[in-house]
Structure 1
Amino acid sequence: EKALPPNHPDLAGSHLSFAACYEKMGDYAAALKILQSAFKIQQKAFQEGNPAFASTHSWLGEVYRSMKDYSKALDNFEKSLAIDLKTLPEKHPYQAITYSDIGDIHRLMGNYEETLAFHQKALNIQENVQCNPLECATTYINLGEIYREMKDYSTALTYYQKGLEIREKKLPKNHPDLAVVYHNMAKLYLATRKYSMAMKNVQQAVEIAQEKLPSTHPHLLEYKETFEKIREKM
């Protein structure tokens, strides 16, 4: 900041990195504030539709999703996708990521048909183009969530297991992204009254989150809440 003018585009990139850290720590308000600063810098530095905006819109979508402001999340993910569709080759992996993000927002808004359609668009790219396997895993896990909410538990479990298998191969054993899947599976087993399996999975989620996340992180608090629900049933 001392070496660069206040509207230099490199500062926007630094802001995105800081915002990502705050988002992972669960401090969504701080992440949002930094992202909004980055966006203002980019607006002064770039023409509308510049590829640089795609990443910022994507991060804004992530943060708004975490803050449960789904309409703003959807708006930002759609803006990110529009830029990527114009500026990237057809069936680029980044487009698949955003399709899956948009699908997940539709799930959170209760639009299940749209959810499945967007996740399928993501998989059409991810299963046929060389993508980061972890991106494909996220789509599988997102599909698991939608099928769990639709009470198609066997299909949900299949997708969770596909996503988990990839994450367990590619990530450290105590990675927070593994906790997310364990928690999702715990909720599925709770819904199907398989309480011992539910407890096993939620304990794994809580242990990872306690080690890796701040004590006030929304994910850890949610995992503990699920733990209590399962404990009451046993």
Structure 2
Amino acid sequence: MSRVEFEDSLKNPVHFWNEKSSDEVGNALGNAVKNMVAFDQRNPHHCYDLFNHSLHTVDEIGNTAPVLLRVAAFFHDIGKPIVAMERQGRLVFYGHAQKSAEIAIPILEKLGYSPEEVEEICFYIAHHDDFISWVLPDEDYNKENKYLVVITPENLKKHISKVTDKMTGKRFCPQEKNWQSLLQLCHADVSAQAELVIQNGSVVDSKEHKLSKIMALIHILEII
């Protein structure tokens, strides 16, 4: 598959790719993508198998978004089958964002993306889960949990600086527009998830709540 053909497929990803068999997907993009097809995520946050979740994430972003962002959306969870582990009767995917970026690199290079384009795409992939443990200032949360980060301008600035410092010397260094695009990917990712998160018969989270956190981050990024 050429780069042009692949990007064209992202204009209507659900229709295009769901007409393909897993073997056809593998022949087009390789075994790592083939392994996403029909992969049961077995996680209450998800209502689709892994491949369909990725396709719906691309669809949620829409055709007006930068093409490299839509490419990132397609590959953003490709590492999940590799890192998946059983925990309390469900699958968890610790470190899947970074693993997905690593796996995507040779695929992107084969498709014909330049080194700088690969770095930009992998920035979106590697950091699409950065804000999963961030919480709204006025919501009830465990203040003793050191892994939770409150959504404030100060904390977002710190996070952006930390990530930017680590990317010093690379071909691609994220600017404000790239952080805006990253949050757009985060919003699309959540939009392609289950409406309600149910564990042990009780609702513990919702798509609406997760989207409200992303929207708060988007608003902060606009003003800092």
Higher relative contact order at CA 8 Å, sep ≥6: structure 1 or structure 2? 2
Q: Give the structure with higher Rg (CA).
A: 1
Which structure has greater helix proportion? 1
The answer to whether TM tops 0.5 is: no
Task: Provide TM-score, normalisation by structure 2.
Answer: 0.35
Which has a greater percent of strand?
2
